[in-house]
Every structure is written in structure tokens, then in C-alpha cells.
Amino acid sequence: MSKREYFLRYSLILKRLQKGEATFDEISGYLERESELLDYDLTISKRTFQRDLNEIRDIFQVDIQYDFSRKVYFVSDGNRSEVTGRMLEAFDMFNALNLTDDLSQFIHFEKRKAQGTEHFYGLLHCIKNRLVVRFPYLKFEEDEITKREAEPYALKEFKGRWYLLANDQKDGMLKTFGLDRIQELEITKKKFQWPVGFNANELFRDYFGIISTAEREPEEVVLSFDPFQGKYVKSFPLHESQKVITDNDTETRIRLSVHITYDFVVELLSFGGRVKIISPVSLQKEVRNAYRSALSQYKK
């Protein structure tokens, strides 16, 4: 059996158990059905299954437990992480792209430049080991490349791009750097002191998009969408604080608590006439001014 088949079996076992608890016979039956669909022999004995559980624990950092009274296997709630989900998504895509040599007639890829993911592993290493990094950086609004030396704290994804959150040693400011604009990465041997109480999840909790230096407190925002757009907003929330407060045939109204930043305003503008800002009034004015500025460009 190839290594690819091993990994495929691990991912299928995880996917089945993420849907809900299951007996060994149910898992075995699921693997048999997938074997026919994928044209691989993924069937296993109970002894092999036990070895697989150890491999899954090592590779995916997921602990699959067994309830002896009900004779079912299940994934511990503490293991349902975003990282595991992304790993499984990536492996699903890898398997799909290996089905055939010529994919052009089946899949249409978005044309885009590299996202800087080649720096991902190196930056994670430096974050975990608290190592200073150096890199040439090209900002969108500038023509010249500048050399940066920074203390890396976290990586953040936003709209298909990855960003590094780091303390720029030049001015001691916390900044975000697009990975796709980092020319090359140099890992130094210089250690830095981790900031006391720093938690990236807490820092980003009230933000939409990448971190802003704007000194504004989170605000309660109420938005009203037409029913059609409301379906998309419900299935793909704008922010983790989003709560649906009205949902009927005429509108979907939501409430969220966020910092009102440039990224957030741009997102609202992308909905056009399908969204109405109920509150705050300051956000209404900001969006109204943006529309006026855009319309002024079309005056004869």
C-alpha cells in the first residue's frame, strides 16, 4: 500500500468521525464504500485500525477515543480545531488534483500570484522559537523595497491572503506584513522576549480583516439585508460575533460587535444596495460619503 493510500484512509476515518460517533463496523463499512468510489483498497482489520488511530494522533494531533459502554469511537471535543479542518481540506484537494493528468477541462483555477506560503514554515518556526526575522518588503503604496527586522508573533488569513503580525524593531510598532510581499526570509539566531499577555486570538477577536492601528473601540453594528443576500450572510457570517435578530420574507437583520475599520467599510460597500446600515449613524455617514465620492467620478 502506498503512503498516499495510508493518508487517504486516515483522512476518511477522521471525516467519518467528525460527522458523529461510530462503531468499528460502521467505520469499516464507510471505508469499503469509499474504496469503490475512489478505486483504492482502503479496507482494514481492527488491529490495523488501532494502529491508524495512533498515526492520526501523531499526524493530525487528534485523539480518537472509545466508549466501552456503547462500543463507539468519537473525536474529543477539544480536538475539533480549525487547523485539523484545514489539513483535511488540503488533503482532499491534493487527492482530487491527482485524479488525472489534465485538469484544464474539469477545473477552472482563479488566476493569482503566489501567496507567500513558501515562507509559512519558516515563520511558524520563528514564532514558536521566538527568533527575529529579516526580510525585504514592498508595500503596495510604495515603489521602493525596505529592509525589515521584526519579532514575529502570529500568522493571519484574510480573503485568501496570509499576513504576518510582527513587532517592527525599527519603531517598536505592531504591524501586519503581507506574505506575498515578503521578498525573501532570513531567520536569525537573535531571540526576542514574548510580550506579556499577548494572545493573537484575543487581539483579532473584535476585528474584521487585518489588524488596524486605528484607536477605535468595538461598536455594535446592526445591518439589514434583503432576503436573498441574507441567506449568504447566514451561511458565511461576517464576523464571529454575528447574531441574527430578524429573519423573515422581507429582511435578514444581524447584529455584530466590531472595530469599524477600512476593511469593514469596504466589505459593506461590496454588498451594494442589498444592505442597509441601521446603526451606528457614524457608519451610515461613512458609507454614504464613500458612495458620493464614487458617484462624483461619473459626473460630466
pLDDT tens for 39-55 read: 788 888 999 999 999 98
94-114 pLDDT per residue, tens: 766 665 556 656 776 666 665
Identify whether 150 is part of a domain.
yes
Helix, strand or coil for residue 103?
Answer: coil
pLDDT at 80 (0 to 100): 54
**183/135 same-domain check:** yes
| Helix-, strand-, coil-residue percentages of the chain, each rounded to 5 | 40, 25, 35
- What is the rounded average pLDDT of the residues 282-289? 94
β-strand pairing of 219-225 with 186-191 = unpaired
Give DSSP secondary structure letters for 272-292: GGGEEEEE-HHHHHHHHHHHH
The x, y and z cell numbers of residue 244, run together, are: 441574527
Whether residue 271 contacts residue 230, with contact meaning beta carbons closer than 8 Å, is answered with no
Residue 101: per-residue pLDDT: 59
Do residue 83 and residue 155 come from a single domain? no
Same domain, 90 and 26: yes
Poorest-pLDDT segment among 34-48, 109-123, 134-148, 262-276: 109-123
Residues 146, 188: one domain? yes
Model pLDDT, residue 249: 92
Residue 123's H or E segment, with its range, is helix 120-129
pLDDT band at 215 (very low <50, low <70, confident <90, very high): low
Arithmetic mean of pLDDT over the chain: 86
Q: What is the DSSP letter of 195?
A: P
Assess if residue 86 is contained within a domain.
yes
The amino acid present at 238, given as its one-letter code, is L
Tell me how far apart the alpha carbons of residues 228 and 217 are, in angstroms, rounded to a whole number: 31
Q: What is the CATH number of the domain that holds 23?
A: 1.10.10.10
46 plus 90 within the same structural domain: yes
21 and 86 together in one domain: yes
Is 212 within a domain? no
pLDDT above 90 coverage of the chain, percent: 49
Q: Which of 83, 98, 96 is nearest to 14 (CA)?
A: 83
* CATH number, domain with residue 187: 2.30.30.520
CA distance 36 to 43: 10
Model confidence band, residue 86 (pLDDT cutoffs 50, 70, 90): confident
As beta bridge partners, residue 255 has 222, 243
What is the tens place of the pLDDT at every residue in 195-212?
A: 888 888 888 888 888 866
Split into its structural domains, the chain has a count of 3
pLDDT (average), residues 175-186: 90
Percent share of the chain, pLDDT over 70: 86
* Residue whose C-alpha is closest to residue 60's, from 81, 90, 84, 77: 84
What pLDDT score was predicted for residue 226? 94
Domain range enclosing 168: 117-204
Q: Which of 112-121, 180-189, 261-270 shows the lowest per-residue confidence on average (mean pLDDT)?
A: 112-121
Kindly indicate the confidence band of residue 227, based on its pLDDT and cuts at 50, 70 and 90: very high
Which pLDDT score is estimated for 118?
85
